[in-house]
Amino acid sequence: MKIIHISAECYPIAKVGGLADVVGALPKYQNEIGADSSVIMPFYNNKFTQANKFTSIYQSEIFLGNQNVSFNILKVEGSVLEFDVFFVHIESLLYKEYVYSDDDVDRFLAFQIAALDWILTLEKKPNYIHCHDHHTGLIPFMAQESYKYESLNKIPVITTIHNAQYQGWMTYDNLYKLPRFNIEKVGLMLWDGMINPLAAAIKCAWRVTTVSPSYMEELKYNANGLESLLSAESSKTIGILNGIDSEVWNPSTDDFIIKNYKKTSVEAGKKGNKKWLCKEFNLDENKPLFAFIGRLVGEKGAELLPYAIDYALRSNDISVLVLGSGNKDTEKQLFDLIPKYAGSYNAFIGYDERLSHIIYAGADFLLMPSRVEPCGLNQMYSLRYGTVPIVRRIGGLKDTVVDIGDNGFGICHNDVSVQDILISINRGKEFYNDKKAFKVNRKQIMSIDHSWKVSAKAYIDLYNSIS
């Protein structure tokens, strides 16, 4: 079974968030169960592309409206990656230091057209094309309705929605940039007066998945305008919970962390990482350490953090560490709190992959007060590293964390509010002080298996169910 994933991100090549982690792991686990799964993504100007050598395996040009755009398909030399990754190199559009920016319309239109042009030339065509998020949302339409891709229209295209908040809206004048298509079908790309790539994918893909079962249900009443479409197309939708790459995220082998540990050595291991963090960030290692890692955006409930942290630190019995970037006001508020609570609180405003691993390893609790969380990977990483997740019951968080009050292992709250976060932090403190139960729980959560094995198979079963 040959599968090509098409995505804007893939770890370790280019990562903005969880999409990269998923696309960097799912193909590997699909290959382990006998598939031939690869990825096609843009060639960005970043650390990975600068550090490696690439060979061009195909070159051609596309027409993007009135522009001729030349592109190359590149492959990395040597065995740097665990599965095949093909890169669409377009010097003028895609080869940038960033993944996303304001010029995404032309960049991702060109990416999608070049990717399909190249697939068209393959002697051994994929059995399935698997698209991720709105950046690849017009592929299901083009594969079905563009004249030049007619020979691809029997290949099932699957779309996975990682986040329905972002839909890739474009104005109508972009229609002329697409390869010629049956104009009577133009409505398939439109939603609410715009070209809407995510809506187009929901209409045209053979199957639509989301990254957790609960999120699939929630989308029917909260999908940023696509609720009725998702309900109408519900017969082809399914929620499949993400997994984690349990080789990359393994506290006993993780090269990023300060002290490796297993279940049997979790107390000493976490202590070593916490000690390093507390020294680095001027925190008290004898207090329970509550951390937050993530994009500082409304979806993550991030704007509540400065207020919740400000209240929580008044009792002077916890340490708090934040790693994140995003909304500038939230960044500033979090930064401005540092002098007020020096010794108990710190924040690293930015993106740092290594530091994130050390925090998962060294923290006692991870806060995720998300407003929307299609799946969330942080809570699964924290479980694997013996860190208790404190989550809002929503989306994938609801599907992966059970409250200690319900014979579970985490702390859950219902509302996105400062009050609920504070109540949860207090429950966390009480739990931490019950030393014996806390230690038992640490070992137990490290044993929860969220590896991709089950979900990689669920995707293969889904492909097989398409006839």
Which residues between 199 and 238 bind ligand GLC (CB under 6 A)? 211
In terms of residues, how long is the chain? Answer: 467
Among 8, 18, 29, 112, binds ligand GLC (CB under 6 A): 18
Q: How many residues bind ligand ADP (CB under 6 A)?
A: 18
Separation of alpha carbons 294 and 58, rounded Å: 38
Do residues 218 and 211 lie in contact, with contact meaning Cβ atoms separated by under 8 Å? no
The interface with ligand ADP within residues 290-349 (CB under 6 A) comprises 293-295, 323-325
Helices (H) and strands (E) in the chain, counts: 17, 17
In the complex, minimum distance from the CB of residue 76 to ligand GLC, in angstroms, rounded to a whole number: 23
Q: Considering the rule CB under 6 A, would residue 137 count as an interface residue with ligand GLC?
A: no
Crossing angle of helices 266-280/353-362, nearest 10°?
Answer: 130
Q: Is residue 100 a contact residue for ligand ADP (CB under 6 A)?
A: no
288 binds, among ligand GLC, ligand ADP, none (CB under 5 to 8 A by kind): none
DSSP assignment letter at 133: S
Residue 395 binds to ligand ADP (criterion: CB under 6 A): no
User: Amino acid identity, residue 378?
Assistant: N
Cβ at position 188, least distance to ligand ADP in Å = 28
The count of residues interacting with ligand GLC (CB under 6 A) is 14
Helix boundaries (H) for 68-158: 104-121, 139-145
The token pair at 340 is 């007020």
Task: Calculate the CA 251 to chain-centre distance.
Answer: 21
Q: Cβ closer to ligand GLC: 28 or 75?
A: 28
Interface with ligand GLC (CB under 6 A), residue from 373, 381, 394, 404: 373
State the Cα–Cα distance between residues 336 and 248, nearest whole angstrom: 34
Binding mask 446-465 for ligand ADP (x = CB under 6 A): --------------------
CA distance 318 to 425: 9
Q: Select the span of 14-22, 123-131, 431-439, 445-453 touching ligand GLC (CB under 6 A).
A: 14-22
List the x/- string, 150-179, binding to ligand GLC by CB under 6 A: ------------xx----------------
Chosen residue from 267, 353, 430, 434 binding ligand ADP by CB under 6 A? 353
18 sits near ligand ADP (criterion: CB under 6 A): yes
Q: Are strands 2-6 and 194-195 parallel, antiparallel or unpaired?
A: unpaired
Q: Is 378 in the site for ligand ADP (CB under 6 A)?
A: yes
Question: Interface with ligand ADP includes 8 (CB under 6 A)?
Answer: no
The 3-state secondary structure of 287-334, one letter per residue: CCEEEEEEEECHHHCHHHHHHHHHHHHHHCCCEEEEEEEECHHHHHHH
- State which of residues 1, 2, 12, 17 lies at the interface with ligand ADP (CB under 6 A): 17
- 374: contact with ligand GLC by CB under 6 A: yes
Residue 227 binds to ligand ADP (criterion: CB under 6 A): no
Q: Which helix (H) or strand (E) holds 50?
A: helix 47-51
CA distances from 38 to 1, 126, 464 (A): 11, 10, 18
DSSP state of 367: E
Scan residues 242-301 and list those touching ligand ADP (CB under 6 A). 293-295
What gap in Å lies between CA 126 and CA 15, rounded to an integer? 25
CB of 229 to ligand ADP, least distance (A): 22
* Nearest approach, Cβ of residue 293 and ligand ADP (Å): 5
Secondary structure of residue 7 in the 3-state scheme = coil
Residues contributing to the site for ligand ADP (CB under 6 A): 17-19, 21, 293-295, 323-325, 351-353, 356, 375-378
Residues contributing to the site for ligand GLC (CB under 6 A): 17-19, 22, 162-163, 211, 242, 373-377, 396
